[in-house]
């Protein structure tokens, strides 16, 4: 589990909204870009995020928020690898269908690659509630 400290900013109908707490140790660190310690914090600093909680909380409480790293890895593979595979597949299909001496074959191959890339992004966007991303939500693991 990747954990990050956060502050409860609001509670609505059993839904807890948190913002990232101050993390002064990571602020001056030179390894910040490649470190996973501040991975959730980079998302939480930008806005309030809804998280799941079974713990009784109040506004202003310091909590520890966690997300499973396996879910993050699967989501990363889905969002980065699938469109890349679609890009190369679209280019390969267009290359196989076009004659070698066809005029502007390179343009058609590039257009097919870009189209298949964009279609894969659209499909991921429309089906993300059915896939991995629907249950990759952070949870409150403990009160600090």
Where are the chain's structural domains? 2-68+137-143, 70-132
Q: Tell me what pLDDT residue 70 has.
A: 82
Q: Is domain 2-68+137-143 given the CATH code 2.40.50.140 in the classification?
A: yes
Q: List, for residues 39-77, the tens digit of each pLDDT value.
A: 655 555 557 878 878 788 888 888 888 888 887 787 788
| pTM listed for this prediction | 0.58
- Mean pLDDT, rounded, of the chain: 79
- Inter-CA distances, 118 with 46, 89, 110, 113, Å: 27, 13, 12, 9
């Amino acid at each position: 589990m990747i954990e990050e400290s956060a502050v409860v900013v609001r509670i609505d109908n059993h839904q807890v909204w948190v913002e990232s707490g101050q993390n002064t140790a990571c602020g001056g660190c030179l390894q910040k870009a490649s470190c996973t310690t501040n991975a959730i914090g980079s998302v939480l600093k930008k806005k309030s995020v809804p998280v799941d909680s079974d713990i009784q909380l109040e506004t202003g409480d310091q909590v520890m928020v966690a997300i499973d790293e396996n879910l993050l890895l699967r989501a990363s593979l889905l969002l980065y690898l699938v469109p890349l595979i679609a890009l190369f597949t679209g280019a390969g299909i267009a290359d196989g269908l076009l004659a070698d001496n066809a005029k502007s074959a390179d343009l058609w191959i590039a257009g097919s690659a870009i189209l298949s890339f964009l279609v894969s992004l659209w499909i991921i966007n429309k089906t993300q509630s059915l896939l991995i991303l629907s249950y990759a939500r952070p949870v409150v693991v403990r009160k600090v």
